[in-house]
């Protein structure tokens, strides 16, 4: 199995138990961050962008004022992979 192989429902459920703050929404990992203000939210997105680029794996995300919403999915695998879980863990480590 590679980093980009789609995980089974059982694997996802098991990994989510250890992934603080994240939930499954359809075929994505989802997390919402509410920061203290827009500058803090933009800073968070900048830190995440650097990590995502180092993994060559980029999130779907949105930002409105101090709220950042992130969905992770490996499009070429058609769902959640170990790469998504790795990025989610790295994002958590930035907090």
User: CATH no. for residue 85?
Assistant: 3.30.1360.20
Q: Tell me, what DSSP letter sits at residue 8?
A: P
Q: Is 72 helix (H, G, I), strand (E, B) or coil?
A: strand
The burial class, CB within 10 Å (0-12 / 13-18 / 19+), for 51 is: middle
C-beta of residue 29 within 8 angstroms of C-beta of residue 22: yes
Tokens 């929404």 -> residue: 25
Average pLDDT for residues 81-87, to the nearest whole number?
A: 97
The DSSP 8-state label assigned to residue 73 in this structure reads -
Please indicate, yes or no, if residue 2 is contained in any of the structural domains: no
What is this structure's pTM? 0.94
Domain count, the chain: 1
Looking at residue 1, its pLDDT comes to 57
What domain range is 50 assigned to?
Answer: 9-93
Domain for residue 76, yes or no?
yes
d(CA 32, CA 51): 18
pLDDT digits (tens, 9 = 90+) for 27-80: 999 999 999 999 999 999 999 999 999 999 999 999 999 999 999 999 989 999
Does residue 1 fall inside a structural domain? no
DSSP 29: E
Q: What is the mean pLDDT of residues 78-90?
A: 96
Query: From CA 67, how far away is CA 29, in angstroms rounded?
Result: 17
Q: Contact, 92 vs 21, CB < 8 A?
A: yes
């Amino acid at each position: 199995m590679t980093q980009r192989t789609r995980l089974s429902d059982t694997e996802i459920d098991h990994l989510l138990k250890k992934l603080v703050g994240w939930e499954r929404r359809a075929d994505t990992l989802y997390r919402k961050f509410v920061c203290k203000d827009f500058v803090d939210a933009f800073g968070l997105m900048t830190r995440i962008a650097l990590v995502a680029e180092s993994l060559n794996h980029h999130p779907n995300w949105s930002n409105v004022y101090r709220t950042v919403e992130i969905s992770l999915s490996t499009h070429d695998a058609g769902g959640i992979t170990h790469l998504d879980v790795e990025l989610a863990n790295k994002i958590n480590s930035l907090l």
